[in-house]
Amino acid sequence: MREKLESLKREAEEKIRAASDPEGLKELRVKYLGKKGEITSVLRGMKDLSPEERPVVGALANEVRNRLEEWIRAKESELEEARLQARLKRETVDVTLPGQPRPLGGVHPLNAVIEQIEDIFVGMGFEVAEGPEVETDYYNFEALNLPKDHPARDMQDSFYITPELLLRTQTSPVQVRSMQSKEGKVPVKIICPGKVYRRDDDDATHSHQFTQVEGLVVDRGIAMSELHGTLLAFAEQMFGEKLESRLRPSYFPFTEPSVEMDISCVQCGGSGCRMCKYSGWIEILGAGMVHPRVLERGGYDSERYTGFAFGMGPERIALLKYGIDDIRQFYTNDLRFLRQFQSV
Ligand code: 2NL
């Protein structure tokens, strides 16, 4: 039995040393040290030994078992360590490697200008109002003092969906809706930015879809001087403190009197150049005192309240501000164009 134990020990040592993975090692543990393992079966045979031999063989068996246990445990940690090292090597991340650059977008120049216009008016106490792009004939025209026979209502000029519904041609209907929802309370002090639509052949200065920012103030005692002061403050913040401005008489069906505002040319400062067609002046917006009929449609007594309104085209403002010569640049998404505005 002694020889049997010694040979078991040698055989096991050999196999434990050769084990290459924890699973194989586990099988060896079962094979030698398990309940039905080889050592156990040797111990079971001890009952046939003489009383003198029994303790000697017993001690040897215990020693062999302890050694095997020791070797297996040592091999186990060796294999685990090797497995860990392999995994660390495989999964190593070099944090000093340069990252993958992610392409960053920028604000579209037209949206940048619209946001800037909003900021300037919000700074003067205006609120931003928005409304539907599909409008009724009533809000888009009738309420704005454009009667049925008005030339601006020509079917050829607007995108009609039904005889009563169309894509709005201006953002003024939002202002009429806002007036109505205030139920006669003052002040009304809003700006309405948004997309508008007109049937037009696209070229460098026209687009069938463009943007507009309109503004409206209604209160007691609003006069032309409030209009002038507000729009001059806007122009100075948009184009610079040094500019000159003037109001010229004009005509819009929804305002009376109506004006157009010019500023000294942003390009030449007023001395005359191609941009201002050698006049020294650049038109930036249209405005006027709200027509009494429009006030009444909005739910305001035109005997008690007055108001001013204005409308401007962000495309035009952006063309002037950035020296762009073709409105189509805003809609064709040429990245070479757009990338020039990434910091805006
Ligand atoms: C322009 C001129 C203008 C208005 C828009 C307006 C709105 C209401 C009442 C009265 Cl609710 N007026 N809007 C007034 C004058 C001019 O736009 O050249 N826009 C690009």
Q: Does 167 share its domain with 19?
A: no
197 in a domain, yes or no? yes
Choosing from 126, 310, 315, 317 the residue with most ligand 1 atoms within 8 A of its CB, the one to mutate for a pocket test is 310
Report pLDDT for 344: 47
256 is in an annotated binding site: yes
Query: How remote is the CA of residue 108 from the centroid of ligand 1, in Å?
Result: 25
Among candidate residues 32, 58, 88, the one where a domain is terminated: 88
Residue 312 CA: which ligand 1 atom is closest? 20
- Which residues, 6 or more positions from 152, have their beta carbon under 8 angstroms from its beta carbon? 141, 146, 169, 253
- How many separate domains does the chain show? 2
Query: How remote is the CA of residue 252 from the centroid of ligand 1, in Å?
Result: 7
* 176 alpha-carbon distance from chain centroid: 31
- 305 touches 92 (CB < 8 A): no
- 158 touches 199 (CB < 8 A): yes
Residue 298 CA: which ligand 1 atom is closest? 11
pLDDT tens, residue by residue, 160-175: 999 999 999 999 999 9
Of residues 21 and 122, more confidently modeled: 122
> What domain range includes position 48?
2-88
Return the structure tokens found at 169: 């041609």
Residue the block writes with tokens 């709005």 = 168
pLDDT tens, residue by residue, 39-81: 888 888 888 888 888 888 888 888 889 998 998 999 999 999 9
Q: Does 255 share its domain with 316?
A: yes
pLDDT tens, residue by residue, 237-287: 999 888 999 999 999 999 999 999 999 998 899 999 988 999 999 999 999
Q: Does 333 share its domain with 189?
A: yes
Residue the block writes with tokens 């998404």 = 333
Q: Does 116 share its domain with 63?
A: no
In the chain, how long is the greatest CA-to-CA distance?
Answer: 132
Query: How remote is the CA of residue 19 from the centroid of ligand 1, in Å?
Result: 89
Report pLDDT for 56: 86
Query: How remote is the CA of residue 289 from the centroid of ligand 1, in Å?
Result: 10
98 in a domain, yes or no? no
Q: Whose CA is nearest to atom 6 of ligand 1?
A: 309
Is pTM beyond 0.75 here?
A: no
Peptide bond into 187 cis (omega under 30): yes
CATH number at residue 258: 3.30.930.10
